[in-house]
Amino acid sequence: MRSGISRTPDVVRMSEALSRPGIDPRIWAAEALVRAVHVDPEHGVLVDVTILPDGIEETARLAPIYAGSGWGLHLPVKVDDTVLVVAPHGNSDYGLEVVARRWEKADPPPASVVQYPDDVVLHVEPGRSLRVVVTGAGVVEFGGAGLTPMDGVVTGAGIDPFTGQTYYALQSASEVVRAKQRAL
């Protein structure tokens, strides 16, 4: 009668067992420093990174939290940003992905985050634009139970291209736009 226990170690089975999370020596996530950012129309945003602390240079895809065919949320990263890079299944042959950017002493969070730590805050970088694009029958809605007395009123400001003066506009639910110019 033959025993089910082999006296010779099965290297393949040992290798498979050691490749599971928790005992896998490969890195699944690491900090990295952004060296360059490229936008490829077919593959999305590609980020050249240096893995810390090893100094290994790789290219990773920027993994948006909301993405589909021709739509999504793009939160850009910049050169010298510290990011979190992950390797799916612990194997960089599957391609690395940048999944987060973080604040640190050199790049602290905006004051509004510090002031209101329990709120959801979108504070756009100075000089950058926030673009909300809705196609088809979609709607952009700002509202909630705690609305102010200006419910339904949208305000805006701009520079008159002919006079160079700042103008301010209000639009109410009645679709009537009122504008007032004033000198700076």
Q: For the chain, report the end-to-end CA distance as a whole number of angstroms.
A: 99
Query: How many domains does one find in the chain?
Result: 2
Q: What is the pLDDT of residue 143?
A: 58
The residue-averaged pLDDT of 76-86 equals: 93
* Same domain flag for 22 and 94: yes
Q: What is the pLDDT of residue 176?
A: 45
**pLDDT tens digit string along 106-149?**
888 888 889 888 888 888 888 888 888 877 767 766 655 555 54
pLDDT band at 5 (very low <50, low <70, confident <90, very high): low
CA distance 4 to 77: 55
Q: Is 148 exposed, middle or buried (0-12, 13-18, 19+ CB in 10 A)?
A: exposed
Reported pTM: 0.61
Tokens of 124: 């756009």
* Same domain flag for 96 and 156: no
The residue range of the domain holding 51 is 11-101
